[in-house]
Structure 1
């Protein structure tokens, strides 16, 4: 009735931040695979909170068993890979909690993964989160700096 809990839809061809925090250029990520864009172009965010959310409306196309990464296919067919942290795969899922399953429909801003940032930072892990566009033939424009609010700040626009 009052619209509580409803999320504003993103403009067509927009991708929102999957995490709240400082946006940095992918080239500044402390891992050559990401910095050299070997997994695709994208945006990196140094997260300030525990929640990682859906960057757009779509379907969870892939959820790694270690929960450190997931894929979403947007409603119009753009593939997005969200990779949480550097070398976090070695945790084998410890410190991550999933709220979705592969094949599940999600809305922008919906919680996908909760990260135990306190424990991971104490272990010296870099939690920089990459929002990547692998094998992308779309025309892209990406935000390279500033502060992002998860599920709200537009970090990329595209035309298929």
Structure 2
């Protein structure tokens, strides 16, 4: 190798290093900017669903222990049903819920939202409305929920 070739390779090597370091710094800067923007978007998208007041219950007393257990069981069952990947809906669950009184429905709505509002789609009603497969029992439950202003 001649001296000129050695200098040329050394010079090229230094230029390549500068370009490589500059590219690396640019990529890191872009990655940090992207992540900050993504996190900011997530914060804005997180829905705060305001609990709906119970229609026929003294708010200081709340619901009875029996009703509270039933409400939690309904909320957990709804979640299990809605995350079912094959879309097989528990029609009996929606029939039972539709036949419940307003206090239980509002309590189920509030409990479900407290547990799962940020998991996927927002409020219980939004989860239900986003389902592709909606049996008649589910549609009746959605309609009843909307009539109670559970959005």
Give the TM-score taking structure 2 as reference length. Answer: 0.23
Bigger CA radius of gyration? 2
Structure whose residues are more often helix by fraction: 2
**Higher RCO (Cα < 8 Å, 6 or more apart):** 1
Give the TM-score taking structure 1 as reference length. Answer: 0.22
